[in-house]
Amino acid sequence: MLQALRGRKTTVELRNELIIWGTVDRVDAFMNVEMSDVTVTGPRGEETYASFFVQGRQVRYVHIPDDIDMVAALKLPDAVAEKQAAAMENPSTLVLKTRHMRQKIQREKEARRRQAAPQKTDAGPSRT
């Protein structure tokens, strides 16, 4: 659900009474949050940081902006899980896609190598 907040400004309240306000850059499965352009409000006043990391176990509450569609945010992980399940049902499709991508990369690499190789002439070695 917090994945829907990536790139958005929001407030995260911590268990130690700190209030973090900033842009959510990354959120992982453990609710660890990486933020940027952060203002931390606590007993000693406000402090600003260019980047800030919040451990998931320290999070008490995350403010969800009103314009976030929570139904769509909750369906997003379901769509990803469905794609993964479909890939697992037919692993040969995944193998074929991987093989085609690998072959394409090899062809492009070979073409770049041929372009970068100097043109050889049949003049032979020069003697002075």
Tell me what pLDDT residue 120 has: 60
Over residues 63-83, the pLDDT tens digits come to: 988 877 777 766 665 555 555
What is the overall mean pLDDT for the chain?
82
Contacts of 27 (CB under 8 A, 6+ apart): 2, 3, 5, 6, 33, 34
Tell me what pLDDT residue 126 has: 59
Over residues 18-47, the pLDDT tens digits come to: 999 999 999 888 889 999 999 999 999 999
pLDDT > 90 in the chain, percent: 41
Q: What confidence tier does 98 reach under pLDDT thresholds 50, 70, 90?
A: confident
The model's pTM is 0.55
